[in-house]
Chains A and B, each alone.
Chain A
């Protein structure tokens, strides 16, 4: 008898599937509400190599859902506490501890070492970073996320040109538009259920057992016990949003769109404009005003003649406005936001006279 005998005897699973699990290297990002059930079930199922990545420490309010931890772990790093627990349970698998947060500077080096990535993070900046890194490196991504009493699960990037998160939501929403559990509350069983579905999808994907959620999204509602599955579609504009190289990925500020206020710096604006051809830059000064912003592609839309380039704005994903000192552009950003619902519209701080402007 082995500790896997009950799954090995399952019709269609067998020793072949078990040996695939034994050979698999899985990176679990986030050892929180979703991460805990993933870690517990992936280890129990015999995944041969599990890495747990989390820079956070356990706090008392985590304990209703982060079931690996108890009172004794409060204040301890989550990746270390979870790894310690698994090592006390099983001697036949490799556990790797990464007690740090994933970031643009370490994402490529960690993700490249694993076969499949499990995203159990809790914020949009991390979710877009993980998605983009997986697309860049060709790594399958088992995605799950929760909101109040609902959850969503999908497998992204399962093959070349497969669906990824940006096909669904091209640009991140603002972090405070969609609150997370610490703000809206959550019953501990919800991430337990969703994280367990996520672990099931990882095991099924690795072994080819059953039908998985590749290019599909499953929605679950705890209050009604209803599920809803949709088939996802490719968005042709998506590929241009993914960094083309590890260097480009490392230079991005993933928190930018999630945290951005209506006023942004020249540095942030120019970097985002360079990263995404769907972003546009607009000079809102009158035609006679100087100096001109030479060397950059921009549109001109004087305050006195505002809506002439509406169609460009309509097509753009995000719009960056500048003027002489940043006052008119801020006023126009507020006006345009009312007219162009759902667009990210920013005013560049300090205008062309700012010491940060590319002319200075």
Chain B
């Protein structure tokens, strides 16, 4: 079987979007959230120091979670202002 194309969307919020200089990325071939983090830390070292949670298809995930084809992954940093 040939490799099936695996694409997904990454939405960034708050300071993560600021550091990525975009609020939306299209990525492919990254199987899980930990691999995604490794990729992002390499491409955008400035986000390493920012804490964030991750959701896949609008559900918060913990640990290493699979990223399904056509998924929507969101990077969710905390806000403190009020």
Q: Which residues of A contact B (CB under 8 A)?
A: 30, 32-35, 119-124, 127, 144-148, 150-152, 167-169, 171, 173, 175, 177-178, 180-181, 184, 186, 191, 217, 219, 221, 228-233, 235, 341-342
| Interface residues of B, count at CB 8 A | 26
Q: Which residues of B contact A (CB under 8 A)?
A: 11, 13-15, 18, 23, 41, 48-51, 53, 55, 58-62, 74, 76-82
The answer to whether residues A230 and B60 also contact, given A177-B51, A178-B50 and a CB cut-off of 8 A, is yes
The answer to whether residues A342 and B80 also contact, given A228-B11, A231-B60, A233-B62 and a CB cut-off of 8 A, is no
Closest to B11 in A: A228
Tell whether, in the assembled complex, residue B50 and residue A191 are in contact, meaning their CB atoms are under 8 Å apart: no
Tell whether, in the assembled complex, residue B78 and residue A169 are in contact, meaning their CB atoms are under 8 Å apart: yes
Q: How far is B81's CA from A285's CA once the two chains are assembled, in angstroms?
A: 42
Distance to closest chain A CB from B64 (angstroms): 13
A124 surroundings in chain B (CB, below 8 A):
78, 80
The answer to whether residues A127 and B80 also contact, given A147-B14, A228-B74, A341-B41 and a CB cut-off of 8 A, is yes
Tell whether, in the assembled complex, residue B15 and residue A178 are in contact, meaning their CB atoms are under 8 Å apart: yes
Tell whether, in the assembled complex, residue B50 and residue A146 are in contact, meaning their CB atoms are under 8 Å apart: no
Q: How far is B49's CA from A181's CA once the two chains are assembled, in angstroms?
A: 20
A231 surroundings in chain B (CB, below 8 A):
55, 58-60
A341 surroundings in chain B (CB, below 8 A):
41, 48-49
Tell whether, in the assembled complex, residue A168 and residue B48 are in contact, meaning their CB atoms are under 8 Å apart: no
Q: How far is B49's CA from A341's CA once the two chains are assembled, in angstroms?
A: 7
Query: Which of B11, B15, B60 is close to A232, meaning CB atoms less than 8 Å apart?
Result: B60
Distance to closest chain A CB from B13 (angstroms): 6
